[in-house]
Amino acid sequence: ETGVTQSPTHLIKTRGQQVTLRCSSQSGHNTVSWYQQALGQGPQFIFQYYREEENGRGNFPPRFSGLQFPNYSSELNVNALELDDSALYLCASSRPTGELFFGEGSRLTVL
């Protein structure tokens, strides 16, 4: 049990639509990060939030955006969905040691 919960677990969208994925992390873990995992690949870093501000970003376009809230919850928003956005989206929170704990993920399918 990692204490990180994500919703929804599965969803299907069509190309051009927008999606919001949600994450609730452990109390006291004030860093949250999001990763995209395509089938058969390792997770790829999207961005990280610390105290409600983005402080690190991977090689993803601006249509991937996020929010972090004071209650340790977080959102990942993706606009103008493309077929290649189909993936498992993982949320992770960090201990001060730097150890990451992941949720079960949200499986997004874009048709």
Partner 1 sequence: KQEVTQIPAALSVPEGENLVLNCSFTDSAIYNLQWFRQDPGKGLTSLLLIQSSQREQTSGRLNASLDKSSGRSTLYIAASQPGDSATYLCAVRGASGAGSYQLTFGKGTKLSVIP
Strand 10-13, strand 106-110: pairing: parallel
Q: Where are the alpha helices (DSSP H) in the chain?
A: none
Q: 104, 98, 103: which is closest to 50 by C-alpha?
A: 98
Does the protein bind partner 1 through residue 76 (CB under 8 A)? no
- Judged by CB under 8 A, the residue of 11, 20, 30, 102 near partner 1 is 102
Residue (2 or 17) nearer to partner 1, CB:
2
107 and 90 Cβ atoms separated by less than 8 Å? no
Q: Give residue 89's region: left, alpha or beta (phi > 0; psi -120 to 50).
A: beta
Residue (15 or 95) nearer to partner 1, CB:
95
Does the protein bind partner 1 through residue 97 (CB under 8 A)? yes
Choices 16-24, 33-41, 68-76, 77-85; region in contact with partner 1 by CB under 8 A:
33-41
Minimum gap (Å) between residue 110 Cβ and partner 1: 17
Does the protein bind partner 1 through residue 43 (CB under 8 A)? yes
Q: 71, 47, 75: which is closest to 60 by C-alpha?
A: 47
Positions in the binding site for partner 1 (CB under 8 A): 2, 4, 6, 33, 35, 40-45, 48, 55-56, 58, 88, 90, 92, 97-105, 107
